Amino acid sequence: MISIRNLSITYGRMTSRGRSGETRAVKNLSLSVEKGKLFALAGESGSGKSSVLMAIPGLLPEGTRVSGEILLDGRNLTALSEEELNALRWRRIALIPQGAMNSFTPVLTVGRHLEEVLDVHLGLSKRSARERTDELLGMAGLDASLASRYPHELSGGQKQRAAIALALACDPDWLLCDEPTTALDVITQKGIVDTLKSLVETKGVGMLLVSHDLPLAASVCSRLFIMKEGALVEEGTPREIVVHPKNPHSAALVNALLELEREE
Amino acid sequence: MRHLLARWSFWCLLLLVLTALFGGRLFDAPPEREVAAAFSKPLWIERDLPPTKEFRLSADTPSLRFDWRYAPPSRLSLRIDPSVGQTGRFVEWRKPGAPEPLHLAPLRGGFEADGRDIAFKRSLGLPPFGDAAASLFSERGSYELALSGEGGFEGEVVLKLEGGRWGLLGTDQRGRDVAALFVAGVRVSLIVGIFATLLATFLGTSFGLAAGYLGGWIDGLLMRIVDLLLSIPLLPVLMALAALWGKGLWQLVLILSVFSWMGTARTVRALVLTLRDAPYIEGLRGLGAPPGYILRKHLLPETLPVLLATMTLGVPGAILSEAGLSFLGLSDPRVISWGRMLHEAHSFGAFTAGAWWMLLPPGLGIALLCLVFLDLGKFLEERVDPRLRKGVRS
Amino acid sequence: MNYWGRRISGALLVLALVLVLNFLLFRLMPGDPVASIVDPRFSPEAKEQLRKMYGLDRPLPVQFALYVKSTLTFDFGISFLTGLPVAQELRSRVPNTVILLGTSLLLSAALGTWLGMKAALRRGSLLERCVLWSGALSFSFPSFFVQLLLLMFFASMIPLFPLRGTLSVPPPAGGPALLFDYLRHMALPVFSLVLLGFGGWAIYVRNLTVKILGEDFILLARARGLPRKNILRGHVFRTMLPPLLTIFLLSLPSVVSGAVITETVFSLHGVGRFLLEAVTGHDYPAAGAAFFLLSLLTVTCNLLSDLLYGITDPRVRLERGNR
C-alpha cells in the first residue's frame, strides 16, 4: 500500500542563474491507498492533484521542495536517491500520463519504447521482447502492427492505449493515471476507462487516478479524494460524498452536478 | 536608462567613439608618417634599449640637461637652421663626469650632419669606421647639450636620436606609430560597422514590411531570394566583388549591406505577420487607410525596438567582414584599418621580427568592439522581449 | 511537381545562374579580355591560342555553349598566372583543403557537442558559463588574429611548429616521415580552427539540449526508470540528431571562407589560397573554376542536409508526401 503523510510540495524555478520564485502547490496532505482497488483524486485544475501523483515516483521538477513522507509498503520514497527510485520505477510503480502530453519520444517507434523498457528492466532478448510487445499492445486494446508506427502517426485514443501498454510492460503493482481521458471524445473515453477498470479487476494492481472530471472519477473509483488549493478537503466512497458531503466545497460541487442531472 | 549606464559595454563604446573622434589629437604627427625606426618596441619594455628622441636648442633654451640611462642610440643626426649663424659659437656636448665640453659643430646656419658622415666623425676625433653615437653616448648618466657663449640666436638646433623604442605601442615595419594607427583604425571599424548595418537594416525592414504585409507572390519571391542569399558563403563573394569593383571603403559598405539584410527581413516579416491581423489594424483598413499609411504610421513604429536590437547585434558581423577582407589585402591600402594592420603584420614579417605589438592591438581592438556590440545587443534584446510578449495594443 | 523535384530543379537553377554569371564576368570586361589581362605575360602566339581555345572569335551564344560544356566536364582552361591547366592546379590542392576543413569541422562539432550537452546538464555551473562565454569570444576574435598569435608563439618564439607551408621544402622521404611532416604542418591550422569553432557548436547544442530536456517525453523516459545514459543517448541525442546533421552540412560552405583565411595565414597549398591569388591576380579561368566548385559544394550541401533531415526525423518524412 501507498501511504502519504503530511506531504507539502513547493515549486521553485531553475535557470542558468540558479533558483528563483516559489509556489506552494500541496499543503500538508495525507492519504492512503491499497492494491487491488481503484482510487480517484479529483479537484479543479491547479488544486495540486497532479503534483501529488508526480511526487510518488519522484518526478517533480528540479528545485522543488518536498517535505513529508510517501511510504510504499513502509519504504519512504521521498528519502530515496535517483538510482534507488529508478529500481522501483516501472517495475513497482508505472505512470500513465496525460493524453495531452508528448509522452513518446518522436523519433522512436512505439515498439522501440516497449522493447527498451523490457530490455532495461527485464533483460528480455530481442525475440521475447517482440512477443511481449505484441502481447502488451493486445492487452491495451491495440493491434500489434502499431509497434512499427511513430507516435505522431497515432490518434489520441491510440496514443493513450499505447501509454497503457507501456505502463504494463513490467507488470507493476501500481498504476498512476494522470487525467487519462482529457482531450479524448466521449466514446474513446469510455473505452479507456473500461480498460483501466478491467486492469484493476483482473490484474489486481492498485490504481490512483487523477481527474478534474468529478462524475467520471466518482463513477469508477471505490474511494474518492477531493483536493482544493493544495489541501485534501474530502474523502470517502463516492456514495458517501454525494449523499453526505462534509465540506462546503464538495457540497457545492455535488449540488452543481445534481442540478445538471435534474435539468436533464 | 539606469540599466544601460550600468553596463560596461556602454562606457567602452563611449570611450571608443570619443577615441575615433578626437584620438588623433593625441599625436603630433599624422599616423602615416614615419616617426622612428622600423619595429621599434614600446617604451615600457626593455628599458635598456635607447628610445627614439629629439632634443632642440633655441634662443629660449640654450642648454638642455638630460639623463641617458640606456645603451647608445643606433643613429643620430644634427641639424642647425635657419641660415643665420653666429661665428665663434659652437654646439657643445658635455658627457657625464667630463670636465671639458666637446664641440659637436660650429653654430653655422644650415649645418647638417649624420652620425655616419666620415667628416663628422673626424671632427669628433673618431676613425672613419668608428661609431659616433656610441662614442658620444659612451656612458650612462647626465648629459648636456648647449650653445657656447652668449648672444641671440634666431634658429634651432635639432639633435635627433634614433633608438629601438618609441611610443605606447612601438612602430610597424615602416616606422609608423602603432598607437596612432590603432586610433585611426577605430574610426574605420566603427564607420564600416555602423553604416553597413544601418543600410542592411533599412533594406531588410523595407523588404520585411513588404513581404509580411503584402503577402502573396511578393512574399514568396522575397523569401526565396532570402533563402538563396543566405546559402551563399559571404567571403568568396566579397573577395570577387572587391577585386572586380574596386577596393574603396564605400563599395565595401554597400556590398556588406547587400549580403546582410536577410536576417532583419525575416524578423520584421514575422513581426508584421503577427500584427497584420490585429483588430486595430483591421479597423484602419476598413476605414480605407492606404497600405503605405498603415505601414508607415503604425507597423513601422512597432518594429523599431526589435530593429535596434537586431542592428546592434549585426554590427560585429560587418566589422569582422571588413577586417577579414582587409587582412586578405582586398581593401584600400591608403585607408588605415585594423584588418589592414594585421595584413601588413603578416606580409611584412612582424612575427619573425617578434613584433607582437603590431599584432595584439588591432586584433584585440576588433574583438573588443565586437564584444561591446554583442553585449549591448543582448541588453537591447532583453529589453525588447517582454514588450513583444505583451502583444498588440487593442 | 513533388517536393524533391522542386528542390533539385531549384538547385540546378542556382548552378545555371552561377555559370551565366561566371561567363559574363569574363567576357564582358571592357576591351580585349585576353590582352587587357595577360598582356606582358603571354606571347602573341599564346594569345592567339587562348583566343581560339576560349572561342573568343565566335559569336556569344556559341562561346557560352562551349563554356558550359567545358565547365561541366571539369575542364577549366589554363591559368593566366601559372600557364598550367586549372584542373591540374586544383587537383593538387583540393585534398589539402578537404583534410583541413573536414578534420577541423568534425573535431569542432564533436568537442562542441560534448561540451554543450555537459553544460546543459549542469545548469548554473562554471562550465555552463564558460560555454556561453566561449561562443561570444570565438565569434568576436577574428580567426586570422588568433592564428597569427598561435604562429607567433608556437612557431616563431618557441619553434615547435613550422611557420608556413603544407610540407617542408624539400619534403622528407619515406611514408612515416612524410606523414609526420604533414601532420606537423597541419597541426596549428587545424588546432586554430577547432579552437575558433567549438564555441558556436557548444552554445547551439547546449540550447538545444536544454530545450529537449524540458520536453515531456524526457520526463516520461525518467518515469520509466531508464538509466541516465540511456536517456541521454537514446532519447536526447537521438532527438538532436536531425538538426545537428543539418547544421553540420549547412556549415560546410561557410567553413570554406575560413579556409581562405587559414590557408593565407599558414601559407598552405589549398584551394582557398588559390582562390585569393586568382581573384587578386585577375586570373579569370582559375577564379571562375574555384567559384563554380564552391557553388557546387553549397548547392550539394543544401540538398544533402534536406535529404538527411528527412531520413533521420520521421515526422518530416511523412510531410514530404510519402502518403
**Gap between the Cα atoms of A18 and C207, Å rounded:** 16
Across chain C, mean pLDDT equals 82
Distance of CA C287 to the CA centre of its chain: 16
Do residues C11 and C306 lie in contact, with contact meaning Cβ atoms separated by under 8 Å?
A: no
With contact defined as 3+ CB pairs under 8 Å, the chains touching B are C
**Residue range C51-107, pLDDT digits in tens:** 666 666 677 777 778 778 888 888 777 777 777 888 888 888 889 998 999 999 999
C238/A105 CB distance under 8 A: yes
Q: What is the separation, in whole angstroms, between the first and last Cα of chain C?
A: 15
Instruction: Tell me whether C125 touches chain A (CB under 8 Å).
Output: no
- Interval B148-176 mean pLDDT: 84
Q: How would residue B332 be classed by pLDDT, with cut points 50, 70 and 90?
A: confident
Instruction: Tell me whether C25 touches chain B (CB under 8 Å).
Output: yes
Q: Which of C215, C226, C242 sits opposite A102 (nearest CB)?
A: C215
Q: What pLDDT does residue B107 have?
A: 82
Provide the edge-to-edge strand list for the sheet that holds B112-114.
B53-57, B156-162, B75-81, B112-114
pTM of the entire structure?
Answer: 0.82
- Interval B262-284 mean pLDDT: 84
Q: What pLDDT does residue C233 have?
A: 92
Question: Residue A85: which of C216, C217, C223, C214 has the closest Cα?
Answer: C223
Question: Residue C260: which of C147, C154, C127 has the closest Cα?
Answer: C147
Answer yes or no: is A196 within a domain. yes
Chains B vs C: touching, with 3+ CB pairs under 8 Å?
Answer: yes
Q: Residue B389 above 50 pLDDT? A: no
- Interval C219-244 mean pLDDT: 91
Q: What pLDDT does residue A13 have?
A: 66
For chain C, the domains span 86-321
Domain interval for residue A56:
2-103+173-261
B159, containing H or E segment: strand B156-162
Q: Which of B324, B354, B370 sits opposite C140 (nearest CB)?
A: B370
Q: What pLDDT does residue A176 have?
A: 93
- Interval B204-229 mean pLDDT: 85
Q: How would residue B393 be classed by pLDDT, with cut points 50, 70 and 90?
A: very low
Do residues A61 and A10 lie in contact, with contact meaning Cβ atoms separated by under 8 Å?
A: no
**Gap between the Cα atoms of C54 and C27, Å rounded:** 10
Q: What pLDDT does residue C32 have?
A: 47
Provide the edge-to-edge strand list for the sheet that holds A38-43.
A93-96, A174-178, A206-211, A38-43, A223-228, A231-236
**Gap between the Cα atoms of B283 and B278, Å rounded:** 9
Q: What percent of chain A has pLDDT over 90?
A: 19
- Interval B14-24 mean pLDDT: 90
Q: Residue C226 above 70 pLDDT? A: yes
Q: Which residues of B touch C (CB under 8 A)?
A: 228, 231-236, 239-240, 243-244, 316, 320, 323-324, 327-330, 339, 342, 345-346, 351-352, 354, 356, 359-360, 362-363, 366-368, 370-371, 374
**Residue range A170-183, pLDDT digits in tens:** 989 999 999 888 77
**Gap between the Cα atoms of C227 and C242, Å rounded:** 23
Q: Residue C30 above 50 pLDDT? A: no
Do residues A96 and A177 lie in contact, with contact meaning Cβ atoms separated by under 8 Å?
A: yes
Instruction: Tell me whether C207 touches chain A (CB under 8 Å).
Output: no
Answer yes or no: is A79 within a domain. yes
In terms of average pLDDT, the best of A249-258, C67-76, C188-197 is C188-197
Q: Is C173 left (phi over 0), alpha (psi -120 to 50) or beta?
A: beta
Q: What pLDDT does residue C40 have?
A: 56
Q: Residue C173 above 70 pLDDT? A: yes
Q: What pLDDT does residue C52 have?
A: 65
Chains B vs A: touching, with 3+ CB pairs under 8 Å?
Answer: no
Across chain B, mean pLDDT equals 85
Find, in chain C, the residue whose alpha carbon is nearest to that of A58: C223
Q: What pLDDT does residue B386 have?
A: 61
Mutation choice for C interface testing from B225, B239, B319, B368 by most C CBs within 10 A = B239
With contact defined as 3+ CB pairs under 8 Å, the chains touching A are C
Mutation choice for B interface testing from C145, C250, C260, C302 by most B CBs within 10 A = C145
Residues of C in contact with A16 (CB under 8 A): 123-124, 128-129, 132
| Burial degree of B360 (CB within 10 A; 0-12, 13-18, 19+) | middle
Instruction: Tell me whether C144 touches chain B (CB under 8 Å).
Output: yes
Q: Residue B365 above 60 pLDDT? A: yes
Q: What pLDDT does residue B85 have?
A: 66
C123/A59 CB distance under 8 A: no
The C-alpha cell that represents A1 in the structure block: 500500500
Answer yes or no: is A139 within a domain. no
C224/A97 CB distance under 8 A: no
**Please, which residues bridge with residue A24 across strands?**
A10
- Interval B170-195 mean pLDDT: 91
Q: Which of C139, C142, C257 sits opposite B236 (nearest CB)?
A: C257
Lowest mean pLDDT among B128-137, B219-228, B231-240, C17-26: C17-26
Instruction: Tell me whether C296 touches chain B (CB under 8 Å).
Output: no
Question: Residue B201: which of B281, B107, B301, B309 has the closest Cα?
Answer: B309
Q: Residue C191 above 50 pLDDT? A: yes
Instruction: Tell me whether A100 touches chain C (CB under 8 Å).
Output: no
**Please, which residues bridge with residue B143 across strands?**
B66
**Gap between the Cα atoms of B312 and B379, Å rounded:** 10
Q: What pLDDT does residue C46 have?
A: 67
B234/C276 CB distance under 8 A: no
Find, in chain A, the residue whose alpha carbon is nearest to that of C242: A107
In terms of average pLDDT, the best of C143-157, C166-180, C306-320 is C143-157
**Residue range A193-214, pLDDT digits in tens:** 888 888 888 888 899 999 888 8
Residues of C in contact with B255 (CB under 8 A): none
Lowest mean pLDDT among B111-115, C70-74, C200-204: C70-74
Q: Residue C196 above 70 pLDDT? A: yes
Where does chain A show beta strands of DSSP type E? 2-15, 18-33, 38-43, 65-72, 75-76, 93-96, 174-178, 206-211, 223-228, 231-236
Q: What pLDDT does residue B18 have?
A: 92
**Gap between the Cα atoms of B285 and C294, Å rounded:** 47
Q: Which of C225, C230, C234 sits opposite A90 (nearest CB)?
A: C225
Q: What pLDDT does residue C57 have?
A: 66
**Could you say which DSSP state residue C157 is in?**
I
DSSP letter for each residue of B33-58 = SB-S-TTPBPTTS-TTSPBPEEEEE-
Find, in chain C, the residue whose alpha carbon is nearest to that of A55: C223
Residues of C in contact with B244 (CB under 8 A): 25
For residue C45, give how far its alpha carbon lies from the nearest alpha carbon of chain B (Å). Answer: 27
Lowest mean pLDDT among B31-45, B126-140, B230-244: B230-244
C265/B346 CB distance under 8 A: yes
**Grid-cell match 635607447, residue found:** B50
Q: How would residue A19 be classed by pLDDT, with cut points 50, 70 and 90?
A: low
Do residues B173 and B350 lie in contact, with contact meaning Cβ atoms separated by under 8 Å?
A: yes
Q: What pLDDT does residue A21 have?
A: 66
For residue C206, give how far its alpha carbon lies from the nearest alpha carbon of chain A (Å). Answer: 11
**Grid-cell match 599558414, residue found:** C266
**Gap between the Cα atoms of A180 and A167, Å rounded:** 13
Question: Residue C119: which of C137, C136, C132 has the closest Cα?
Answer: C132
Cα angle, residue A212 at apex, residues A207 and A215 outer, rounded to 5°: 80
**Gap between the Cα atoms of B75 and B163, Å rounded:** 7
- Count helices and strands in chain C by DSSP H and E runs: 14, 0
Residues of C in contact with A116 (CB under 8 A): 224, 226, 230, 234
**Gap between the Cα atoms of B252 and B323, Å rounded:** 11
Residues of B in contact with C304 (CB under 8 A): none
Q: What pLDDT does residue B31 have?
A: 85
Residues of C in contact with B360 (CB under 8 A): 149
Find, in chain B, the residue whose alpha carbon is nearest to that of C250: B231
* Count of pairs with CB atoms under 8 A, one residue in B, one in C: 112
For residue C275, give how far its alpha carbon lies from the nearest alpha carbon of chain B (Å). Answer: 8
- CATH, residue A185: 3.40.50.300
**Gap between the Cα atoms of C205 and C109, Å rounded:** 9
Q: How would residue B394 be classed by pLDDT, with cut points 50, 70 and 90?
A: very low
**Gap between the Cα atoms of B62 and C98, Å rounded:** 70
Q: Residue C206 above 90 pLDDT? A: yes
Q: Which of C220, C227, C313 sits opposite A86 (nearest CB)?
A: C227
| 3-class DSSP assignment, residue B125 | coil
Do residues A157 and A188 lie in contact, with contact meaning Cβ atoms separated by under 8 Å?
A: yes
**Gap between the Cα atoms of B94 and B102, Å rounded:** 6
Do residues A87 and A51 lie in contact, with contact meaning Cβ atoms separated by under 8 Å?
A: no
Q: How would residue C50 be classed by pLDDT, with cut points 50, 70 and 90?
A: low
Q: How would residue C323 be classed by pLDDT, with cut points 50, 70 and 90?
A: very low
Q: Which of A89, A104, A153 sits opposite C225 (nearest CB)?
A: A89
Where is pLDDT greater, at C13 or C27? C13
Q: Are strands A223-228 and A75-76 parallel, antiparallel or unpaired?
A: unpaired
Give the ipTM.
Answer: 0.86
Sketch out chain B's domains with CATH numbers: 53-162 (2.60.120.340), 178-388 (1.10.3720.10)
Instruction: Tell me whether A102 touches chain C (CB under 8 Å).
Output: yes
Question: Residue C290: which of C279, C280, C301 has the closest Cα?
Answer: C279
Q: What pLDDT does residue C203 have?
A: 92
Q: What pLDDT does residue C55 have?
A: 60
Instruction: Tell me whether C254 touches chain B (CB under 8 Å).
Output: yes
Q: Which of C136, C157, C299 sits opposite B374 (nearest CB)?
A: C136
Find, in chain C, the residue whose alpha carbon is nearest to that of A176: C223
CA distance readout (Å), B390 to B268, B284, B298, C133 = 17, 21, 17, 30
Across chain A, mean pLDDT equals 85
Residues of C in contact with B367 (CB under 8 A): 137, 140-142, 145
**Gap between the Cα atoms of B71 and B41, Å rounded:** 14
**Which residues, at least 6 apart from B265, have a Cβ–Cβ distance to it below 8 Å?**
B203, B204, B205, B207, B208, B211, B222, B226
**Residue range B231-261, pLDDT digits in tens:** 777 788 888 877 777 778 888 888 888 888 9
Lowest mean pLDDT among A111-120, B102-111, C134-143: B102-111
Q: What pLDDT does residue C36 have?
A: 43
Q: Which of C148, C261, C302 sits opposite B231 (nearest CB)?
A: C302
Q: Residue C17 above 70 pLDDT? A: yes
Q: What pLDDT does residue C142 have?
A: 92
Q: How would residue C321 be classed by pLDDT, with cut points 50, 70 and 90?
A: very low
Where is pLDDT greater, at B275 or C276? C276
Residues of C in contact with A57 (CB under 8 A): 223
Do residues C116 and C209 lie in contact, with contact meaning Cβ atoms separated by under 8 Å?
A: yes
CA distance readout (Å), B148 to A5, A174, B102, B113 = 106, 111, 10, 19
Q: How many domains does chain A have?
A: 1
For residue C24, give how far its alpha carbon lies from the nearest alpha carbon of chain B (Å). Answer: 13
Q: How would residue C237 be classed by pLDDT, with cut points 50, 70 and 90?
A: very high
A86/C225 CB distance under 8 A: yes
Question: Residue C244: which of C98, C112, C104 has the closest Cα?
Answer: C112
Note the CATH number of domain C86-321.
1.10.3720.10
Q: How would residue A36 be classed by pLDDT, with cut points 50, 70 and 90?
A: confident
Q: How would residue B156 be classed by pLDDT, with cut points 50, 70 and 90?
A: confident
**Residue range A72-110, pLDDT digits in tens:** 888 888 888 888 888 889 999 999 988 767 889 999 999
**Residue range A150-163, pLDDT digits in tens:** 998 888 888 888 99
Find, in chain B, the residue whose alpha carbon is nearest to that of C280: B243
Residues of B in contact with C149 (CB under 8 A): 359-360, 363
C141/B363 CB distance under 8 A: yes
Lowest mean pLDDT among B196-205, B235-244, C51-60, C255-264: C51-60
B371/C152 CB distance under 8 A: no
Where is pLDDT greater, at C208 or B228? C208
How many residues in chain A?
Answer: 264
How many residues in chain C?
Answer: 323
